[in-house]
Structure 1
Amino acid sequence: MTQADDRILETLSDSSLILSPRVLAVNTDYSRHYLSTRLGKLRDAELVDRIDEGLYQITDRGRAYLAGELDAEELEE
């Protein structure tokens, strides 16, 4: 997990919206390309769902991670 991953999850959680990498880039100061890569990793870890092409929302598992109920080491297993 990276600092960007935390920012992505926090932004998705705080907004309660389905967002694109472009919108996330504007709100997190990371490039859209980098966020697209990170969103793929977060999707693999089941922390975000891809709702449609280029649209993502946080999962319950993602919220559990933000709440400290899920350790980053558990995500790598």
Structure 2
Amino acid sequence: MTVIGVGLLTSYAGFAADFYKHEIENSVAEIESIWTPVHVPIFVGMFIAAIGFFWALRRTQPRALPAA
């Protein structure tokens, strides 16, 4: 669960930086690409959260008992 939280916080920080870039600085969205440095934390955070989700999902699956 901690990994998912780190991913969500990273994405949230990326969204906050993107909001600042577009609303406060009035940066024009037409001249930037999806790979600008302010967008990278959003994608990295999503990736970390997805890895954490699948890791938690794998840890909660029941394991087969050995044959007696």
TM above 0.5, yes or no, is no
State the TM-score, normalized to the length of structure 1.
0.27
Structure scoring higher RCO (CA < 8 A, sep ≥ 6) equals 2
More helix by share: 2
Which has more radius of gyration?
2
State the TM-score, normalized to the length of structure 2.
0.30
